[in-house]
Amino acid sequence: YLDFAVQMGFIPKAEPIVFQLYSEPMQRFRLAARGHGRVVPPKEGDRRRIETYMDPLPFWHMPFEEAVVDLEKYPLHALTQRPMHMYHSWGSQNAWLRQITSQNRLFVHHRTAAGLGLVDDDWVWIESINGRVKGQIKLIDGVNESTVWTWNAIGKRRGSWGLKDDAAESNRGFLLNHIIGDQTSADAQGKRYSNSDPVTGQAAWFDLRVRIVKCAAEEAGFTEPQFQRFLQPPHFEPSPDRLTFGAEFRRAREATK
């Protein structure tokens, strides 16, 4: 397989690939935080943080926000991830993909929903310590009972990606981003860090704690919060009512017959 990898250009040489379970680069960061080497972190608080999290061996620690949240008030973990078929928000420009997914749901376990008095297709407020967002739920069995999750990149602000104002993405789709904090709570010195993994910088899309509350009847059917519509640049033409992208491919193909 190494020769094949070289042939394909994946690696430069057919040499053994060493997987570091114990990461020497991580240990160098930790040693620097302890004062070893020519370059050390200048601030004491940063040194403590680097020494704690730059562990050369894999370890688990409680997410930063979860450590300061009332877990009885916000009992559910909330995850957001990209759908395989529409990895980026620009997928909403593809009419075929929009037929598959133009609205995301919050997936909730049947028993969790029953305990909260919820049924399939209910509209709920999804609340965290940072705010709340409204969306529609879908009941499933294939999720942990203490976890809810949804697709990311489906909910859109009106005026984005050339979508009409009545598009499902901006009227019924939603984003958990609105209720995920971008900074940690201040420490004893008033210092706040990015609410992200301290090693990789990965955003806290998997660290959120929430509660879900059924909407009032008059609140159902549309997502919130809503923001001012994006204004199109003056030279932009209005979005077409019917997409014909690719039609020229067929004409060109038939012209060669």
pLDDT in tens, 96-122: 888 889 999 999 999 999 999 999 999
Which helix (H) or strand (E) segment holds residue 130: the answer is none
Model's pTM, two decimal places? Answer: 0.85
Report whether 147 contacts 177 (CB < 8 A): no
Cis amide prior to 75 (ω within 30 degrees): no
> Which amino acid type is present at position 109?
H
Residues, the chain, total? 257
Biggest CA-to-CA distance, the chain: 75
Residue 86 has a pLDDT of: 81
- So what's the pLDDT on residue 173? 96
The alpha-carbon radius of gyration of the chain (Å, integer) is: 24
| Residue 127 pLDDT > 90 | yes
Q: Does the structure show a pLDDT above 80 at 245? A: no
221 is written with which tokens?
């059917």
Both tokens assigned to 40:
């050390």
- Mean pLDDT is lowest, of 40-49, 133-142, 157-166, 171-180, for 40-49
Q: What is the mean pLDDT of the chain?
A: 92
Can you list the domains of the chain with their CATH numbers? 1-54 (no CATH), 76-219 (2.40.40.20)
Among 94-108, 118-132, 173-187, 188-202, the range with the most confident prediction by mean pLDDT is 118-132
